[in-house]
A = this chain, B = another copy of it.
Amino acid sequence: MQLSDAEWIVMNLIWDSQPTEASDVIAALGAENSWSDATVKTMLHRLVKKGALTTEQIGKKYRYTTAVRRTACVRKASRSFVDRVFGGDAAPALLHLVKTTKLSQDDLAQLRELLETKSNLKDTQKKGSKE
Contact = CB atoms under 8 A, between A and B. Distances in A.
A116 B98 CA distance: 11
Contact of A77 (B8, B84, B102): B84
Nearest to A6: B84
Given A8-B85, A74-B85, A100-B78, A91 B107 contact: yes
Contact of A84 (B8, B75, B91, B130): B8
State which size class the interface on A falls in.
35 or more
Contacts of A107: 91, 94-95
A104 interface: yes
A97 B115 contact: no
* Integer count of this chain's copies in the complex: 2
A9 B83 CA distance: 9
A74 B98 CA distance: 13
Interface in A68-122: 73-75, 77-78, 81-82, 84-87, 90-91, 93-112, 114-116, 118-119, 122
A68 to B, nearest CB: 14
A34 interface: no
A94 B115 CA distance: 11
A-B complex: 6 closest residue pairs judged by Cβ atoms: A91-B107, A90-B101, A81-B81, A8-B84, A77-B85, A108-B119
